[in-house]
Structure 1
Amino acid sequence: MGDYWLTQFALEALGWFFIGAFGLALLLATWLPKGVKAKLIAVAVLLGVTAVPVVNQYREYQRAQAAAAAYKARLQAARALLAQRCAQAGEKIYKTVQGARGVFLTNLRPFDDMSRPTEALDPAGDGSTGPAYITTFFAGRSQENSWSTTGRNRIGAYEFVETQADDGEIVRYSDERKNLAEEDLFFEKLSSTRVPRRSARFGIEWSNISTPDDKQLWIAGNRIRVMDLDTQEVIAERVAYVMDQGQGSTSGERSPWSFALYNACPELPKLHGRYPQNYGLTRNFVEKVLKP
């Protein structure tokens, strides 16, 4: 706070210095030259020289005001649209299943490069991508009702995860670590085998449901569905939205979609009560439906 007032004082002092310098220059321009014509020329030159930066500064001020007004209008529109979207967001669980041994991932989550915000695949979805997405389903629960991949327990973990390869065959992943107490669980420590048919009855599907209007206002939507693959029945779904209040600003190395997590519906859990967490979002929801 002290630095702020010191800066304000310095700026005010600098402003008065320039006003005083201009007054002195104007006095000299009207006093030193001989004759009325010379005085008028000196005053005109002085006004011209001092007017250029003033005009430029005023134009910059106008541009800044216009940009601020445009941002305010966009943010108001974004908040209004987010309110509409959030009215439809939330978790709906129509049926739960006890003793689910494994799950089938109907689509995987490729690596999502959030450093290129306009190209992000699914900003409102799970923060785990690539192989890490599969790994989350093998994490065990701790006594604090949180889970991690440190491998110290397998309570609440699924036994296997199945996906479909590009050639149409089913790939089954399982955790084959020899010493669960020592090693963290990484994708490289999972074993994978080709099987003739899927054995998991229930599948998990994610999708980006953002519309063009959403994207214009830096809103992203995600839907997770849990389905009975034998009957094609949707037994649970989660719809979520996030919105970047900075409206895509990347100034100061800002990451728009990371900041958007602070404006999420449903609200995301927060680390230390401050930092929203979307890693393992799918696993957290699925476990409410398919109980291992």
Structure 2
Amino acid sequence: MIHHIRLIGLLISACSVLLACQTHSKRPPSDIRAATDKEMAQVKPEWIEKECNVGLYEELFVACVTVTAKQMPVLDVNRREQFGEHYDPAEWLECMKQSAESGKRGDGGCDMFKTRRVENPEYWPNPSMPPVQWPAAPKDPVYRSWMTSRHYFEALCKAEAGEFIYKTVSDVEGVYLVRPMNYVYTGDIFDKYVQYAPYVRSRGFGRRTDAREFRFVGQNKYSFFENPLPYHLSQIEINRFIIGDPSYFEKPKVADLTVARYSGYTGLPVPNGTSADMDRQMRVEYAKQVKARYGLTWREIRRPSDFEKGVLGSEIAIVDLASGEILALARGFAMAEQVTHAPSGRMQWSFPCPYNEKRQDLYSFTQAVLKPAAH
């Protein structure tokens, strides 16, 4: 009897720790009836784009989320990092139907069952540039089977993390961002799999108000900064509330433009002006070709058992856009930890390594390698 009680206690403890017995078990079906074919035929693509939160009455809302669930891809175990830890179209559908019952549509409570990666493509400006030669992984990995996540994280930080400057350049006028990082919503940030390169994000990529040009352009800084045009256009609505200059929101009038170039900002107060007047110094122009000689990009790196242990690595490179040479590299790691105050199953990322008080963001690392020209 005592043995049985101890066994039950161990099972309860394990369930509490792993959250597997209570958090993501299949929820009981909603009392709302299933959508009919006729109702689903009325669903419009723009409703799905807005996740069905467009003021639909209950039957059409259920039809909309049902169509959405049918369009969600099946989880591919061979590409596990492309899908959230709790990705499940059927579970998402039931959760959304129950949100309609409880009056909590659109509160984000079901997002974890739909979370997928948002791709962050590279935009190389020079097709003839040789491929970038990223450093290979160490031949002798530091991972050992006995390691906890914390042990593994600390071992990788000690063995591999750091900033490596191979060459510096003086009198640099501007910089091009080869691979911007899209803004990641809360559900993605807390996910073990789909979070892109948390170390890179910690250096200033992918923030909600990611107008990085204001950090790079100014007095004693670079005279211009460049983004791929598709990324700039994707940020227009986000930046509309923080940047006042009209040039930010003008759409290109010529089809073959590829670059958004920012210049004119000094970072100095405008006489008798406000901070908004100072921001309006920054102007945007569209161009066919990248003007900068040097660019910034990043990539994820894989190490043995990294996803299993919740330890992710990534690298930032400063690249010569003519030769493909890497002038400098920053490599770091971050560890996923359970969030005690967030919805069950959510993760947060520990403060990544390495930590450099003097060079915490992307600009401070860049200007240590590409010395801005005096202007």
Q: TM-score, normalised by structure 1?
A: 0.59
Partner of 2:181: 109
Residue of structure 2 in register with 1:157 after alignment: 221
Alpha-carbon RMSD: 3.8
Distance 1:104 1:235 in 2: 14
1:120 is matched with 195
Q: SS at the partner of 2:198? A: coil
| Contact 1:94-1:236 at 8 Å conserved across structures | yes
* Whole-angstrom CA distance in 2 between matches of 1:174 and 1:208: 30
**In 1, Cα distance between the equivalents of 2:302 and 2:152?**
12
Provide closer, same or farther for how the CA distance between residues 268 and 225 of structure 1 changes in structure 2, counting only shifts above 3 A. Answer: same
The letter of the residue matching 1:108 is: P
Matched, 1:265 2:353: yes
Match of 1:284 in 2: 364
Distance in 2, Cα, partners of 1:266 & 1:186: 34
**Distance in 1 (alpha carbons) for counterparts of 2:305 and 2:174:** 38
* Residues in 2 aligned to 1:157 and 1:64: alpha-carbon distance in whole angstroms: 56
Taking the aligned partners of 1:91 and 1:165, their CA distance within structure 2 comes to 29
Secondary structure of residue in 2 paired with 1:95 = coil
Deviation, structure 1 residue 85? 2.5
Q: Match of 1:170?
A: 259
- C-alpha distance after superposition, 1:38-73 (max 9, x if no partner): xxxxxxxxxxxxx9xxx779724553268769xxxx
Q: Write out per-residue CA displacement over residues 249-290 of structure 1, whole angstroms, 9 at most, x where no aligned residue.
A: 2321287434x11xx3212539xxxxxx96xx2222111101
Contact 1:132 1:187 in 2 (8 A): no
More helix by share: 1
Q: Distance in 2 between matches of 1:187 and 1:63?
A: 57
Unaligned runs of 5+ in 2: 19-144, 231-255
Judge conservation of contact 1:122–1:220 (CA < 8 Å) in 2.
yes
**Amino acid in the other structure paired with 1:267:** Y
Is 2:265–2:279's contact at 8 Å kept on the other side of the alignment? no
- TM-score normalized by structure 2? 0.47
- Counterpart residue number, 2:13: 64
Q: Distance in 1 between matches of 2:363 and 2:13?
A: 45
Q: Distance between the aligned counterparts of 2:303 and 2:356, measured in 1?
A: 22
Work out whether residues 316 and 329 of structure 2, in 8 Å CA contact, stay in contact via their aligned partners in 1: yes
The reply on whether 1:180 has 2:269 as its aligned counterpart is yes
How far apart, CA to CA, are the structure 1 residues paired with 2:302 and 2:187? 19
| Matching of residues 29-68 of structure 1 within 5 Å | 59-64=8-13
Letter in 2 for 1:162: E
AA aligned opposite 2:368: K
Change in CA separation of 1:253 and 1:68 when aligned onto 2, cut-off 3 Å: closer
Is the aligned partner of 1:97 residue 2:172? no
Given that 1:137 and 1:161 are in contact with CA atoms closer than 8 Å, whether structure 2 keeps it comes out as no
Counterpart selection for 1:132 from 201, 210, 220: 210
Q: Which runs of 5+ in 1 are unaligned?
A: 1-50, 140-153, 271-276
Partner residue in 1 for 2:132: none
Secondary structure at the aligned position of 1:125 is classed as helix
Matched-pair contact (CA < 8 Å) for 1:103–1:202: yes
